[in-house]
Each structure stands twice: as structure tokens, then as C-alpha cells.
Amino acid sequence: MNGRAMPFDRQENTTCVTISSNLTEPTKSMQAKRDSQDEGMDPTGNLRQVVPILLLWTISLLLAVAMADAETLSFLDGQIRLYPAQQEGDRILIPFAQPPAPNEEVLLLYHGTDLFHLSRIQKETIMPKAMAHPRPHQVYGLTEGRLSDPQAQFLVAVGKGVTSLLKWKAADAMSGDQSASSCMTPDKGFVLTALQVLISEELNAKVYYLQEEIRQSTSDIMSDKDEHSGISMKEIVGMVESEDSCRILAYNTSDGYGLQNSGSSEPVGPIFGIMELSTGRATKRWLVLRSAMRQVWGYTFIELPSRPLNRQPKRRFLLEDRG
């Protein structure tokens, strides 16, 4: 594994889907009915074709339902709340159920280390034009300045005194590192298709995201006994605290059809930035990913401990403001 300890044998945060071999086996009463039918008919043939399709649809639906509640995240015992938001023209649309209190700040997390203050610019809610199934959104605008690019999706932080509690560093504010550690090399039979390595000065460490896919020439010769059999793609997020020492924070594998996914229950994707939360007594940092799994897009937050833990880091997920 080239020095990279992949926790494929861990049971926590792992989802397995098994199709029973007896799913289409007829009962005695069903067999009696079959005996009365023409010999050329096979009523289970169509069922065998439909079951995987229904299963895939069901898995996608359950994932979407499970994440449907993840439309806001609270940190620091509720002092800070994070929401997804979207841009429509010069307006920032936020799906607040109720507008924040007058003494609460609303900040937009942007490029670099920028935190832009937002203010409510109209009382009436609107339905975003970009959403297929829109819901009411509150309308906000920048208190000063303008956004410099047509980015459509944003993160918004809300709370009392957020400016003193939260620091933000987007991926474009961190130095990149083109030299990959040995634990970032692809596994046997796979090729590296994406690699992002960023240096965090605050952590004195590197954080990385990699994606690898199986070579077409090797996909047909992997045996069922191979530990990667059935896997066509892997996504891994980790941290390098010393040379050639990678700590895996989250990973996902897929067979390309969503039927053999394993790894973290939250989606994995490229690094979006690092959020630092401080109350004066302690500082906590979260790695933020722009992540997706099938038809679900959003932000995955991964705890970045200041020292090695004897447990898996906490992971949380926030849906993008899509519909």
C-alpha cells in the first residue's frame, strides 16, 4: 500500500450493501404457479434486472433523506451557526427559517481569509430562480464592496460576535506543495487522477486530497480475492505531520455504480479551506471539503486535532443550497 494505511477493514463509518442470492428464489406456491405457465417464460428474469436498479435508487434516496436535515450546523455550543447560501445577481440568498436576531452578525466566507459582512436588504422572501424545487430565502447583500467572481454557492456564519470567534482560510490562501509524499502514490492497478496538497502553517502540517481510478487494462484481471476487487475509484483526505507519515482523515471508495461504496459515511472531495474557532480558552480547527456523492453536493467538515487521537476525527456534513 506504499506506506499508506488504508482502513478498509475498519467497521466504523462503513456502509455495505449486500444483495441476497435468495432474493429471486420462488416459494412453493410461486413454483406451482410457474409450473402452470409456459415453459419459455421466466418471470424472474426481468426481476433480476430490475432489483439492482431499484436498489441503487433506494440507496440514493436514503442518502438524500439522511442528509436532508443537514441544512445548518452549529459550533461552539450554538454560538456559531453555518448555513449554505447562493448568489443571484448582486444578492445573497440564504434559506433562513427566521432572520437572525438584530444583534447577530452574518458573515460570508470568501476567498483568502475574507469574511464579508452581510445585511438584510428586503423584508420579503423570494424563491431562487436556479432551484428546481425552490423554497423561501431571505435576501441579503454585502455591506460594502462587491464579489469579484461569479461563484454560485457560499458558506455563511451567523452568531453574536462571530468576527472574534471565527477565522477562515480558503484553499487559495494556503501554499501548495507539488511534491507528493510516498503515502500519496496510487495503489497497485490504480492511476492518480487528482492530487491537492496544501501547507497549513498553523498546524505545521500538510493536508491533502487525492483521487485514484483503476486502470482499464487491470480492471478485468483483478480476482475476487483482491482487496480492491470491485473498486473503480478512491477518494482520500489526510494529513502529513512528518515526512512520509500520512494520517487518513476520511475516504470513500466506489465501484462506479454506487453499489459497493465503503469508507466514511460523509462524502469526500477537494479541500475548500480551514475554519478556526476560538473562545480564548481553546482553539479548534475544521478542514472543510467541497464534496459530493452521487446526486448530493455539500460541505464536509473534518476535525483537525492538535495532537494524535485514539479515535476517528469527528466529521459533519452540510448540504449545498440546491434544490
Q: Contact at 8 Å (CB) between 95 and 137?
A: yes
Structure confidence at residue 45 (pLDDT): 53
DSSP string, 8-61: TT--TT-------TTTT---HHHHHHHHTS-TT--HHHHHHHHHHHHHHHHHHH
Structure confidence at residue 229 (pLDDT): 54
Return all residues near 300 (Cβ < 8 A) that are at least 6 apart. 250, 266, 267, 268, 269, 288, 289, 291, 315, 316, 317
Structure confidence at residue 41 (pLDDT): 44
Structure confidence at residue 260 (pLDDT): 54
Listed in order, strand segments (DSSP E) in the chain are 73-75, 80-88, 91-94, 105-109, 115-126, 137-142, 153-159, 166-170, 175-176, 190-200, 205-214, 233-242, 245-254, 262-263, 271-278, 283-293, 296-304, 315-319
Structure confidence at residue 231 (pLDDT): 80
Rg of the chain's alpha carbons, rounded to an integer? 24
Structure confidence at residue 268 (pLDDT): 92
Which is nearest to 299 in space by CA: 269, 262, 276? 269
Return all residues near 131 (Cβ < 8 A) that are at least 6 apart. 321, 322, 323
User: How many beta carbons lie within 10 A of that of residue 167, not counting itself?
Assistant: 16
- Collapsing DSSP to helix, strand or coil, 293 comes out as strand
* Percentage of the chain lying above the pLDDT 70 cut: 71
Structure confidence at residue 230 (pLDDT): 63
Q: Contact at 8 Å (CB) between 98 and 120?
A: no
Structure confidence at residue 207 (pLDDT): 94
Query: Is 0.85 topped by the overall pTM?
Result: no
Give domain limits for the chain.
Answer: 73-162, 174-319
For cell 409456459, the residue is: 38
Structure confidence at residue 111 (pLDDT): 92
Q: d(Cα 214, Cα 193) in Å, to the nearest integer?
A: 10
pLDDT by 10s per residue, the chain, length 323: 455 555 433 333 333 333 233 333 333 443 444 344 444 445 445 545 554 454 444 444 444 434 444 589 999 999 999 999 999 988 999 999 889 999 999 999 999 999 999 999 999 999 999 888 899 999 999 998 888 877 789 999 999 999 999 999 999 999 988 777 888 888 888 999 999 999 999 888 899 999 999 887 654 444 444 555 568 889 999 999 877 678 899 998 887 655 556 778 888 999 999 999 998 788 999 999 999 877 789 999 999 987 766 778 899 999 999 86
pLDDT mean across residues, the chain:
77
What CA–CA distances, in Å, run from 234 to 105, 138, 139, 247, 301? 39, 38, 39, 16, 19
Q: d(Cα 96, Cα 94) in Å, to the nearest integer?
A: 6
**160-196 confidence digits (pLDDT tens):** 999 999 999 999 999 988 777 888 888 888 999 999 9
